[in-house]
Amino acid sequence: MRLSGSQPIPLKNARILLTNDDGILSPGLKVLESVAQGLGAEVWVVAPETEHSGAGHSLTLHQPLRWRQIAERRFAVEGTPTDCVLLAINKFMAEARPTLVLSGINRGANLGDDVTYSGTVAGAMEATLLGVPAIALSQVLRAQEPVKWRTAEVHAPEVIAALCSRGWPGDVLMSVNFPNVPAPAVAGTVLAPQGHHKVGDNLVERIDPRGRPYIWIGQLHADTQLVEGSDMERSDAGWVTVTPLTVNLTHRDTLEHLAGVFDAGSVA
């Protein structure tokens, strides 16, 4: 079944914009650039000058945005992933908009509730809001172990091509997570809904040399529930997970449940 508004996304001679939240020098961006070039596309890179992990869908509103051009079709922006996509589409690529935006490859998972904090997902979300199809890509890792970038590098081309062959609605973005297993050990690729994965609230308070208190958000312990079939559970079992996310956050069932509570209680 093809959903209304979904059309295949042609990758041959496409213009693909890459961004991330780990910064212009991140190894994940280098991997994604190799993947995009392998698709035969014209590749543009517009990424933050420095790391913006956990930035969510934030815009820089109280200071100017500055950038430097590193090479043809390659820019570093002193801003968030959202800033990068906004500048890329409305300035650097204004004469010919991208066919597709790829955000990542993130160093770490964006599973379950991670997506609400993720600058990687936000980059894809901003592209979606601007009318450009987008995919966020993340490589799951385990602390103190080398990141298995090869897993994402091997499996990303097939996943991207498969998704683009079908397309998806204009108010949807795709979130892809590669499991923390070697590339040959990947079980396959599966569609999966979000699970529950709340980042912990560990606050570490210290005193600076001038006697003033400050706080670090500490170890990111997580309340994880491996619900069968969820992105968390499938990733843990070695699958590449694909989760469609919607820009519209309205919960329709609750909207209907509360109809009549207020004077103007009708549901559109």
Question: For residue 22, is pLDDT > 70?
Answer: yes
Highest-pLDDT range among 199-213, 214-228, 232-246: 232-246
With tokens 């204009």, the residue in question is 170
Taking every pair of Cα atoms in the chain, the longest distance, rounded to a whole number of angstroms, is 64
pLDDT on residue 158: 98
227-239 average pLDDT score: 95
Burial 138-168 (b: 16+ CB within 10 A, else e): bbbbeeeeebbbebbbbbbeebbeebbeebb
pLDDT on residue 253: 94
- Confidence at 224, pLDDT banded by 50, 70, 90: confident
Listed by start position, the domains of the chain span: 15-194+226-257
CATH of 15-194+226-257 given 3.40.50.1000, 3.40.50.1950, 3.20.20.80, 3.40.1210.10: 3.40.1210.10
Question: For residue 219, is pLDDT > 90?
Answer: no
pLDDT on residue 202: 82
pLDDT on residue 266: 62
Task: Say if residues 134 and 16 touch (Cβ distance below 8 Å).
Answer: no
pLDDT on residue 248: 94
pLDDT on residue 199: 72
pLDDT on residue 203: 87
For 161-175, what is each residue's pLDDT tens digit? 999 999 999 999 999
For 38-73, what is each residue's pLDDT tens digit? 998 899 999 999 989 888 898 999 999 999 999 999
Q: Binding site: residue ranges? A: 21-22, 53, 106
pLDDT on residue 262: 87
DSSP string, 65-105: --EEEEETTEEEESS-HHHHHHHIIIIITTTS--SEEEEEE
Q: Binding site for a divalent metal cation: residue ranges? A: 21-22, 53, 106
User: What 3-state class would DSSP assign to 215?
Assistant: strand
Average pLDDT of the chain, as a whole number: 93
